[in-house]
Amino acid sequence: MVQKVHLGSCCQPSRLRKVAIVSWASSRFVKDTKQNIFELACGPGAQILKNTNLDRKDIDALLVSSCTTEQYSSTIISEMLGLKPKVSHRVDNLCNSGTNAIASAYSLITSELCDLALVVGAEKADSTGNKLRWDVTRGAFMLPVHWAAIFARAHMRKFGTSEEQMATVSVKNHRNASKNPNALFKKPVSLEQVLTSKKIADPIKLLDCSAPCDGASAVLLADERNAKKITDNPVWITGIGQHTNSASFANAASDLCTIESARMAAQDAFRMSGTKPSQIDVAELHDAFTIMEILAYEDLGFARKGAGGKFVNQQNIAINPRGGIIGCGHPVGATGVSQVAEVAAQLAGRAGSTQVNDCKTGLVHNLAAAGSSASVMIMSV
Amino acid sequence: MVQKVHLGSCCQPSRLRKVAIVSWASSRFVKDTKQNIFELACGPGAQILKNTNLDRKDIDALLVSSCTTEQYSSTIISEMLGLKPKVSHRVDNLCNSGTNAIASAYSLITSELCDLALVVGAEKADSTGNKLRWDVTRGAFMLPVHWAAIFARAHMRKFGTSEEQMATVSVKNHRNASKNPNALFKKPVSLEQVLTSKKIADPIKLLDCSAPCDGASAVLLADERNAKKITDNPVWITGIGQHTNSASFANAASDLCTIESARMAAQDAFRMSGTKPSQIDVAELHDAFTIMEILAYEDLGFARKGAGGKFVNQQNIAINPRGGIIGCGHPVGATGVSQVAEVAAQLAGRAGSTQVNDCKTGLVHNLAAAGSSASVMIMSV
């Protein structure tokens, strides 16, 4: 009944304020920090406040991304950081929480409700976000590895993707993580080590999987005028796509070889930013399992459908230079924020030991369980 | 270091898209619906989809407001409502969650990431959102009534506010609720009944308090073009103010006679909408306890500081015509959404048995625990 409409304006496309990522920080991702969720969350936020030397009064939004069951965590974290923001709440959507919160922060700034928005993602390794008890169509197993195994087997059957190709993703991401001081896994692994690691749910082996851990990350977003005062290297958010498919695996994954939510989110993000997959220099892809990175190659348009397995050896795009989720660990609510922090650092030329040469345009791809929802974000300098 | 700036534009003030509330629905608020949180949440959303006859594909955001500890509830509720929105996550900030979620939905539309955003608030009576275990400065009692008693005693001491004045708020709100078929409490109460009801924490008595309950509410927000297609009576959101003070009672309430977060949120909302307190025809105020409504009169500028007690008998502004939180019950995550739904219904002239005559401009005031955070929203037709 209602058609999608976009109102015209006398001054498109500059009508809306531009938004940049101007600062970022991450904790080390480790098995157990011995910190509670609040202490853990405050680390990167405090680091950003120190690095930018901002007056705390100027931070007018604090969004928290976490699957914690603690109540009003954003208000508690505000107080612990010495902030009294206008807007503060927690965003919860499993692994996709972090990019959801950053998209919300973007829209708070674009809509002129806020100028400077801090997004903090934090999770403890024992978070209830690691377990789902709603959807028995995932096999009543509750563990993500079961749907990953179904995706992997389907792709192998339909396109001939091999266990070696999946293992190659793990080798690459562990190698990248070995250069990242914040990563959970610091040792490179060989193809043989991956292939002979313990079978968890055939064909997924232990080293095809990411691991839950403690971790926190934060990014600071600013409107254009403030961004240019804070940094010489603002990283502009140029495209955002989000899509929610279905909580049920049976409905979310009607085609077991495509994550439909990611495909649609990517379409929207590329359209909004006016870029194409071939223009991406650096990308953080949601590799909770090796097969998920291969599916992402295809769903984002880096490779044609079915060619993801062969794409693992490409060198044109720097994919998961920090080590991805497999190498860095997967603190659920922090993951999306840490992905954006990494791509922002890369584009600003400040990624340190994981820096990729000559990157101007970057992409973040984030998913919640089995692709039930997805976010794609495009940034450029 | 960074100064607050607002960029100029060639086409102010029409640069940003206007946002309207175009449909709303609420469940009955009762002690126990026998429904789980998901079933409960779906009721009002399904009602809105039915009332508007919208194609489900056109709903491109679903935000859920709740203190539930269930994971990825917004994706589950999306699926149960037959929606596949772009944006979907849960917003958590105690009693303030609902208005936080609506402000987020507003900014998603203004920023052009979405056109039609459904906000669903839902809570079970046994929600963990009714208890806090973080801040021992509230007296380690964990129960909201203890800070309410401190506020009441301070106001009585400083301004001579009486127990009768507080009780008058309860009488008014119970009387209003008696006309509201969705309200938890359907019987009027007398001044004497309030004054002689059981003392909970002196001077707060049982009938000065709201009660937890099961309840759900939903509102649909739309950009201007869609709004005018959906309804002849769009209710425009003209002002939003939000402020976060402190999670600790000791810090949040440095002046025990002012809810500073509400005062600042109101300032911002009035400034944004270009209205004054005297222009408000109808208001939903956060009366979790009778003293909180009296504080709100002052913090919003309806009465001068200290004169709130005498303001209880005024007739110029229709305050809490649905019965407020005291009359309707307090399903924490649903409360803010139900407040906005009520004011929208009033302004559209569709509030049925609780309709107030000639109201053009309305206000919603919402708080989280002890004023740790506050939202003020102004709407008009």
Q: pLDDT tens digit string along B368-379?
A: 988 999 999 999
Q: Are strands B373-380 and B235-244 parallel, antiparallel or unpaired?
A: antiparallel
| Euclidean distance between CA atoms A295 and A307, whole angstroms | 9
**Letter string b/e over residues A218-239, b meaning 16 or more CB atoms within 10 A of that residue's CB:** bbbbbbbbbbebbbebbbbbbb
The alpha-carbon gap from B29 to the nearest alpha carbon of chain A, in Å, equals 22
Nearest CA in chain A to B106: A111
The continuous run of DSSP H or E covering B118 comes out as strand B116-123
Return the closest-CA partner of residue B159 out of B371, B305, B311, B314: B305
Find, in chain B, the residue whose alpha carbon is nearest to that of A70.
Answer: B69
- A1, A14, A88: residue with CB nearest B54: A1
CB contact under 8 A, B75 and A110: no
Report the distance separating Cα A89 and Cα A72, nearest Å. 7
- Residues facing residue A320 across a β-bridge: none
Q: Does the pLDDT at position A9 exceed 70?
A: no
| B95 among known catalytic residues | yes
CA A247 vs CA A138, A348, B76, B80, B124: distances in Å: 10, 36, 5, 9, 21
Residue B140 pLDDT: 54
CATH pick for B19-128+214-235 out of 2.30.110.10, 3.40.47.10, 3.20.20.70, 3.40.50.300: 3.40.47.10
User: Are the beta carbons of B230 and B258 closer than 8 angstroms?
Assistant: no
pLDDT band of A137, cuts 50, 70, 90: low
User: B79, A53: Cβ pair inside 8 Å?
Assistant: no
pLDDT score, position B255: 83
Residue B8 has pLDDT above 70, yes or no: no
Q: Tens digits of per-residue pLDDT, A218-231?
A: 999 999 999 999 99
Q: Inter-chain contact B225–A55, Cβ cutoff 8 Å?
A: no
pLDDT at A200 over 90: yes
- The pLDDT value recorded for residue A337 is 98
**pLDDT at residue A292 is higher than 80:** yes
Structure tokens at A49: 């406040």
Q: Which residue has the tokens 């979310």?
A: A252
- The answer to whether the beta carbons of residues A91 and A369 sit under 8 Å apart is no
Give the model confidence (pLDDT) of B95-121 as tens digits: 999 999 999 999 999 999 999 999 999
Average pLDDT for A357-376: 95
Q: How many CA atoms lie within 13 A of B29 on its CB side?
A: 37
Spatial separation of the C-alpha atoms in residues B375 and B368, rounded to whole Å: 9
Residue A303: count of CB within 10 angstroms of its CB: 19
Residue A369's closest CA among A273, A246, A213? A246
- For position A8, what pLDDT does the model report? 33
Q: How confident is the model at residue A247 (pLDDT cuts 50, 70, 90)?
A: confident
pTM beyond 0.80: the answer is yes
Burial of B133 (0-12, 13-18, 19+ CB in 10 A): exposed
Report CB contact under 8 Å: B75, A372. yes
From first CA to last CA, the distance across chain A in angstroms is 40
Q: What average pLDDT does the structure give for chain A?
A: 93
- Residue A15's pLDDT band (cuts 50, 70, 90): confident
**Cα dist. A313→A1, A153, A310, B52 in Å?**
47, 21, 7, 51
What would the mean pLDDT of B268-293 be, rounded to a whole number?
Answer: 98
What percent of chain B clears pLDDT 70, i.e. is strictly above it?
A: 93
Domain ranges of chain A: 19-128+214-234, 144-207+236-380
DSSP tag of A206:
G
Q: Which residue has the higher pLDDT, A173 or A133?
A: A173
Contact call for residues A186 and A29 (beta carbons, < 8 A): no
Per-residue tokens: A63:
């969004």
Read off the pLDDT band of B127 (50, 70, 90): confident
Q: Is the peptide bond before B234 cis (omega within 30 degrees of 0)?
A: no
Amino acid at B303: A
Which pLDDT belongs to residue B137?
Answer: 63
The shortest C-alpha distance from B125 to chain A (Å) reads 15
Which member of B42, B95, B114, B359 is catalytic? B95
Task: Give the nearest partner residue to B244 out of A85, A91, A107, using CB atoms.
Answer: A85
Of all residues in chain A, the percent with pLDDT exceeding 90 is 86
CATH of span B145-205+236-380: 3.40.47.10
A355 C-beta neighbours (distance < 10 Å), count: 16
Of B55, B93, B111, the CB nearest to A110: B111
Alpha-carbon distance of B314 to A226, in angstroms, equals: 45
Measure CB to CB from residue A369 to each of B72, B100, B246 and give the nearest one. B72
User: Across the interface, do A134 and B72 touch by the CB < 8 Å criterion?
Assistant: yes
Q: In the structure, what pLDDT confidence band is assigned to residue B139 with cuts at 50, 70 and 90?
A: low
Q: What CA–CA distances, in Å, run from A140 to A143, A248, A254?
A: 8, 11, 18
Q: Which of the four pLDDT bands, split at 50, 70 and 90, describes residue B10?
A: very low
Q: What distance, in Å, lies between the first and last C-alpha atoms of chain B? A: 40
Do B145-205+236-380 and B19-128+214-235 fall under one CATH topology? yes
* Residue A134 vs residue A351, higher pLDDT: A351
Mean pLDDT of B302-312: 97
- Shortest Cα distance from B236 to chain A (angstroms)? 15
Asked whether the beta carbons of A343 and A378 are under 8 A apart, the reply is no
Smallest CA-to-CA distance from B236 within B94, B348, B146, B114 is with: B348
Chain A residues touching residue B5 (CB < 8 angstroms): 115, 223, 225-226
Among A110, A113, A135, A137, which would you mutate to test the B interface (most chain B Cβ atoms within 10 Å of its Cβ)?
A113
How far is Cα A86 from Cα B4, in angstroms, rounded to an integer?
Answer: 13
pLDDT (average), residues A143-160 = 93
Determine the Cα–Cα distance for residues A251 and A255; give it in Å rounded to an integer: 9
Question: Which one is catalytic: B155, B174, B243, B330?
Answer: B330
Q: Among B280, B274, B40, B288, which residue's Cα sits nearest to residue B152? A: B288
Beta strand B19-26 with B235-244: parallel, antiparallel or unpaired? antiparallel
Q: Are B104 and A106 a contacting pair at CB < 8 A?
A: no
Q: Which of B39, B52, B75 to mutate to test the interface with A (most CBs of A within 10 A)?
A: B75
The CATH number of A144-207+236-380 is 3.40.47.10
Query: Is residue A348 over pLDDT 50?
Result: yes
* B79–A246 C-beta distance less than 8 A: yes
Q: Look at A104 and B103 and tell me if their CB atoms are within 8 Å.
A: no
- CA A262 to chain B, closest CA, distance in angstroms equals 11
Q: Which of A4, A76, A88 sits opposite B134 (nearest CB)?
A: A76
What is the structure's pLDDT at A141? 53
Of B16, B67, B71, the CB nearest to A67: B71
Interface touch B112/A6, C-beta < 8 Å: yes
Mean pLDDT, residues A16-36? 97
Distance CA(A37)–CA(B95), nearest Å, equals 22
Q: CA-nearest residue of chain B to A240?
A: B113
Instruction: For residue range A67-96, list pLDDT tens digits in order.
Output: 998 889 999 999 999 999 999 999 999 999
Q: What residues of A act catalytically?
A: 95, 330
- The closest CB to that of B16, out of A111, A226, A241, belongs to A111
The model's confidence at residue B130, banded by pLDDT at 50, 70 and 90, is confident
- The rounded distance, in Å, linking the Cα atoms of A232 and A126 is 39
Q: What's the burial of B197, exposed, middle or buried (CB within 10 Å: 0-12/13-18/19+)?
A: middle
Which of B49, B99, B111 best tests the A interface by mutation, with the highest count of A CBs <10 A? B111
With CB atoms and an 8 Å threshold, state whether B84 touches A244: yes
Topology annotation, domain A19-128+214-234:
Peroxisomal Thiolase; Chain A, domain 1 (3.40.47)
- Is A368–B93 a contact, with Cβ atoms under 8 angstroms apart? no
Q: Which residues are bridge partners to A15 per DSSP?
A: none
The pLDDT assigned to A11 comes to 37
Alpha helices in A97-223 (DSSP H): 97-110, 144-159, 163-177, 191-195
Confidence (pLDDT) at B318: 98
pLDDT at A352 over 80: yes
Please, which residues have CB within 8 angstroms of residue A333's CB and are 6 or more apart in sequence? Answer: A64, A65, A66, A67, A68, A92, A97, A98, A121, A122, A123, A127, A129
Query: What average pLDDT does range B182-187 have in this prediction?
Result: 96
Q: What is the pLDDT of residue A226?
A: 97
> Which residue of chain B is at minimal alpha-carbon distance from A15?
B15
Banded pLDDT at A1 (limits 50, 70, 90): very low
Confidence of residue A2 (pLDDT cuts 50, 70, 90): very low
List the single residue in B with minimal CA-CA distance to A269: B113
What was the pLDDT predicted at B6?
A: 37
Average pLDDT over residues B189-208: 97
Nearest-neighbour CA in chain B from A209: distance (Å): 21
Contact A372 B128 (CB under 8 A): no
The pLDDT value recorded for residue B136 is: 64
**% of chain B at pLDDT higher than 90:** 86
**A12 has pLDDT over 50:** no
Q: Which residue of A has its CA nearest to B264?
A: A86
